[in-house]
Structures are given as structure tokens and as C-alpha cells.
Amino acid sequence: MSETTLRITEIFHSLQGESSTVGLPTVFVRLTGCPLRCQYCDTEYAFHGGEIQTLDKVLETVVGFGARYVTVTGGEPLAQKSCFPLLTALCDKGYTVSLETSGALPIENVDSRVIKVLDLKTPGSGEVSRNLYENIQYLQPQDEVKFVICDRQDYQWAQMKIDELALNEKVNNVLLSPSYGQQDAAELAEWILQDGLAVRFQVQLHKLLWKDEAGH
Ligand code: SF4
């Protein structure tokens, strides 16, 4: 049997910038490649290149940081088949593991111990047609659904989807983020308060701290 390998853009230790574990020291494993092209993408450097590494080498690097939380991200990590055994191996090692995924690829076979942070792409992203709604049935309570909001139309679309898909009955956290440099954060916060929307508002901590530098 051939050895499991992954194409890796970077592995680094930072503070979680998003989701309900925001602020926690976390190791990020960024897999190379993404089949989407969201207009606001801030990780275009992960579309190409990267380095082929064995699963064992990736695990060794993660262990070296001594953190408890690991986030597997991209690009779109599920575009690589070896992402599935990577997630399982990290869970087996006792890490709290989360997966950031675009929502465009099937999550059905992701290890059930993983916290899936699933995007639903809004019209403003330019990739709304890529949402794979079959994924919704595989969400577990510990998972999170994230909307990046580019404008008022996106906000109203998200509101509609939260209702239509009964997202608050499926997961404990529905996240709304303003698209950086496109949607005013305070304005989005006001809309959420006015409507009493049952969501968690978030701004990206790593953008506040480190702007767009790779490795954070
Ligand atoms: S899914 Fe994520 S990595 Fe891919 S283009 Fe969209 S924002 Fe960028």
C-alpha cells in the first residue's frame, strides 16, 4: 500500500481567528488547492504550489507545537482525499480538531469527532451555485455554519437560509462575519440586533492582529 501524502501550503501555530473557539492557541494545517474562486478570498496563495508531505511528517510537525487544538483548513482541504485520514489521525491523537470547509464538497465521510465549520456561500461571494445542500443532513450539533456577508442582500439571503434549512436546530453556532473591507462590521452588528437574529457575530481576530500576513 502506498504511503498517505498531502500537499501542504503551511503548518503554523497561532490564535484561532474565528468560530466559537476564537482566541485559543491552535495549530493550523493549511492544505493546498481550492476548486472555488470566492471574490473575497484571502488565501489565494494556497491555490497552487505547496509541498508534498507524508501524513506522518504532518503529524510530527503538529505534535511539535504542543497545542491542544488543530484546525485543518485551505484552500478547500476536502479537495484532497488524504484529508480524511489526516482528520482521523489527529482525532486519534486526542486533539480537538476542526475542519474549515467551503460547503462545496461532501462532508459525509468526515470523522464524526471533527468539528466541521461549514461555509454557505452567499450571492456576494460569486460562488453561491457551489453550495452542496446535501451536506446539511450530515451536520452535528458541535458543527458550525458560517456566512461571510458582503452586503445587505447577502444578509437577507443568510436570514432566509437560516430559516429554510432550520440551521439553529441542527448546530449550536451559526456564524455571521462581515466580508473584510466590503461590509461594515458595525452595520452588520446593528442589523443582527434589530432583527434579533439567533447567530454569533464574529470579526476575524487574525485580521485585526496581523492583517493578511501568511502564517497567522
Ligand atoms: S472556498 Fe475559501 S479558499 Fe476557496 S476561494 Fe473561497 S474563500 Fe478562498
Helix (H, G, I), strand (E, B) or coil at 91: helix
pLDDT tens by residue, 81-133: 999 999 999 999 999 999 999 999 999 999 999 999 999 999 999 999 999 99
Residue nearest to atom 8 of ligand 1 (CA): 41
Residue 178, strand partner residues:
149
pLDDT tops 90 at residue 214: no
b/e sequence 41-65, b meaning 16+ C-beta within 10 Å = bbbebbbeebeebebebbbeebeee
Ligand 1 touching residue 41 (CB < 6 A): yes
Are residues 72 and 31 in contact, defined by beta-carbon separation less than 8 angstroms? yes
pLDDT at 207: 82
Distance CA 34, CA 19 (A): 21
> If you average pLDDT over every residue of the chain, what do you get?
96
Q: Tell how far the Cα of 105 is from the centroid of ligand 1, in angstroms.
A: 12
Q: What share of the chain is helix, strand, coil (3-state, %, to 5)?
A: 35, 25, 40
Residue nearest to atom 7 of ligand 1 (CA): 41
Residue 34 alpha carbon, nearest atom of ligand 1: 4
Ligand 1 touching residue 76 (CB < 6 A): yes
Q: Tell how far the Cα of 165 is from the centroid of ligand 1, in angstroms.
A: 22
Residue nearest to atom 5 of ligand 1 (CA): 37
Q: Mark residue 211 as left, alpha or beta (left: phi above 0; alpha: psi -120 to 50; beta: remaining).
A: left
The stretch 55-80 carries a mean pLDDT of 98
Q: Mark residue 177 as left, alpha or beta (left: phi above 0; alpha: psi -120 to 50; beta: remaining).
A: beta
pLDDT tops 70 at residue 1: no
Burial (Cβ within 10 Å: 0-12, 13-18, ≥19) of residue 26: buried
Residue 74 alpha carbon, nearest atom of ligand 1: 3
Most ligand 1 atoms within 8 A of CB, residue of 31, 36, 44, 128 to mutate: 36
Q: Tell how far the Cα of 1 is from the centroid of ligand 1, in angstroms.
A: 32
Per-residue pLDDT band at 74 (split at 50, 70, 90): very high
114 CB contacts (<8 Å, ≥6 apart)?
87, 91, 97, 98, 99
Ligand 1 touching residue 131 (CB < 6 A): no
